[in-house]
Amino acid sequence: MLGETLALLAAAAYGCAGVSIVHSKTTAQGDNGVFLSVVITLIASGVLWLGWGTTSAVTLKSAEGLWAAAFFALAGFASNIFGRQAMYRATEKIGAVRAGLLRRLIPVFALPCAYMLLSQIPNWRTVLGGAIVIAGVVFYMRPSLNLSRRLPSIGVVLGLLSAAAYALAYCLRAAGLRTVPDAALGTLVGASIAVVWFMYTTMVRHGVRQGFWYLTSDRTPAHWRTAIALSAGQLLQFFALKFTSVATVAILGALEVLFSAALVLLVSRCEAVEIKKLLLASAFAALGTALLVVG
């Protein structure tokens, strides 16, 4: 129950972040706050680990700890570098709701990854609940399914890459948590890798002065909102993996698109939202979520 609740809160945070990315792109001068969001994740995970962490960093020096650290680092590379950048760019190009639809392919990628890396096979309630959740999302987004006509090809490609990267990150994080069950430490390792990577590659490409400006120029309220929401979503997902399966976390993430649609309807109005379809799709999602919790 706790794992499913954390996964739902993570979906809500990602939904908020998607809408905020659309708002912030109009004032972006550099990377639209991607680096800022990773730094916030690094700080938040560091504070959580120092205050409530259950594992010492010394543990990572053991043989099993080194394997866990490697999994955490690879998960950070997949989610914070590839997944996050692709999500930002896809959302900028095709909007929060449509990008959220493409991210719902995460369960498709996550299930085979979980089977190969973790030997996790979902039970029938998880499969049925996931199918109902995804059916509700697809029903609401049905007009946007004709991607070849409605969406720019680059936005579709980036959305698919983001989904694949996050799915791989789910499985890598879960693998690391098996030997070092400290979600805050795992997030800290992944975020540290991403910060170093962004600083090195950007400054090599643009030079130290211009590269630093590119990474730090976008700090408007919208950029801060996005960074905080994404960091919260990632941390919540990481903790959710301690209490439930990769399949459940990935499938509950499908609710992100409904959270995005609700925010657009009630607050932003930057995209068209059909109220009746949203309510029906939400009912499907609620039923599917109930089955997931029971499962």
Question: Could you report the per-residue pLDDT of 134-179, keeping only the tens digit for each?
Answer: 887 777 766 554 544 555 568 878 988 998 998 899 889 888 988 8
94 neighbors 159 (Cβ within 8 angstroms): yes
For the beta carbon of residue 212, count every other beta carbon within 10 angstroms: 16
Distance CA 294, CA 228 (A): 31
Distance CA 184, CA 273 (A): 36
259 neighbors 15 (Cβ within 8 angstroms): yes
Distance CA 114, CA 247 (A): 7
Least confident range of 24-38, 133-147, 169-183, 228-242: 133-147
**pLDDT: is 87 or 254 the higher one?**
87
250 neighbors 107 (Cβ within 8 angstroms): yes
Confidence of residue 73 (pLDDT cuts 50, 70, 90): very high
Least confident range of 105-109, 151-155, 209-213: 151-155
- Which structure tokens are listed for 278? 């949203």
Signed CA dihedral, 78, 44, 22, 209: sign only: negative
Percent of the chain with pLDDT over 70: 92
Average pLDDT, the chain: 82
**pLDDT: is 270 or 32 the higher one?**
32
**Chain-centroid distance, C-alpha 95:** 16
**pLDDT: is 28 or 145 the higher one?**
28
Report the pLDDT value the prediction gives residue 159, as an integer from 0 to 100. 87
Report the pLDDT value the prediction gives residue 85, as an integer from 0 to 100. 92
Report the pLDDT value the prediction gives residue 214, as an integer from 0 to 100. 92
Average pLDDT over residues 259-283: 75
Report the pLDDT value the prediction gives residue 46, as an integer from 0 to 100. 92
- Which structure tokens are listed for 132? 């109902």
**pLDDT: is 281 or 268 the higher one?**
281
Residues 6 or more apart in contact with residue 79 via CB below 8 angstroms: 165, 166, 169, 190, 234
- Which structure tokens are listed for 172? 């890598």
Interior angle at CA 259, CA 286 and CA 264, nearest 5: 140
Distance CA 102, CA 212 (A): 32
Report the pLDDT value the prediction gives residue 118, as an integer from 0 to 100. 74
Burial degree of 233 (CB within 10 A; 0-12, 13-18, 19+): buried
Average pLDDT over residues 18-22: 87
Distance CA 279, CA 289 (A): 15
Amino acid at 220: T
Confidence of residue 270 (pLDDT cuts 50, 70, 90): low
